[in-house]
């Protein structure tokens, strides 16, 4: 099993993923809007977004992870917890979206390939 690298603070990333077996991630315009709503909730606190592209069965995000001091201030946490926060937020974001799609489409199980891909 491949070791998953921690998302490093104050670094740029191209983050992308797709549906397993080419499955769609977005079934309606409302799905795109909901994805972005969750993105704002979970990712805005830990990353500045420079670009995003949402396609029917995959997505791309170009982000800069916020600094340690920015994350500590936003969440009122100590430095040790700040380094893990971006990875946790991405996990919560993806899980929340998949749960909503599973409920909407009366499906269960994974929707996204794991782990999500990132290029520093």
Looking at the structure of the chain, the number of domains it has is: 1
Q: Is residue 1 one of the residues assigned to a domain?
A: no
Decide if 55 is inside a domain: yes
Q: Which two tokens stand for residue 33?
A: 């809007």
71 in any annotated domain: yes
pLDDT, mean of residues 63-81: 94
Tell me the per-residue pLDDT of 79-99, one tens digit each, with 9 for 90 and over: 889 999 999 999 999 999 999
Mean pLDDT, range 93-111, rounded to an integer: 93
Q: Looking at the domain assignment, is residue 4 inside a domain? A: no
Query: What's the pLDDT at 1?
Result: 42
Is 6 a member of any domain? no
What pLDDT score does 113 carry? Answer: 82
Residue 7 domain-assigned (yes or no): no
CB-based contact 84:95 (threshold 8 Å): no
Q: Where are the alpha helices (DSSP H) in 1-120?
A: 29-42, 68-75, 79-82, 85-104
Is residue 2's pLDDT more than 70? no
- Global pTM reads 0.90
Q: How far, CA to CA in Å, does 56 sit from each of 77, 92, 103, 107? A: 37, 21, 18, 18
Residue 53, domain CATH = 3.30.70.1290
User: Which residue range forms the structural domain that includes residue 21?
Assistant: 12-119
């Amino acid at each position: 099993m491949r070791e998953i690298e921690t998302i490093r603070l104050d670094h740029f990333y191209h983050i992308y993923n797709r549906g397993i077996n080419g499955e769609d991630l977005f079934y309606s315009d409302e799905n795109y809007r909901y994805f972005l709503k969750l993105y704002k909730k979970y990712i805005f606190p830990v990353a500045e977004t420079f670009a995003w592209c949402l396609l029917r069965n995959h997505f791309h995000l170009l982000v800069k992870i916020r600094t340690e001091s920015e994350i500590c201030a936003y969440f009122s946490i100590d430095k040790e917890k700040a380094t893990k926060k971006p990875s946790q937020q991405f996990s919560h974001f993806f899980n929340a979206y998949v749960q909503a799609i599973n409920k909407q489409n009366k499906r269960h199980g994974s929707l996204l390939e794991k782990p999500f891909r990132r290029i520093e």
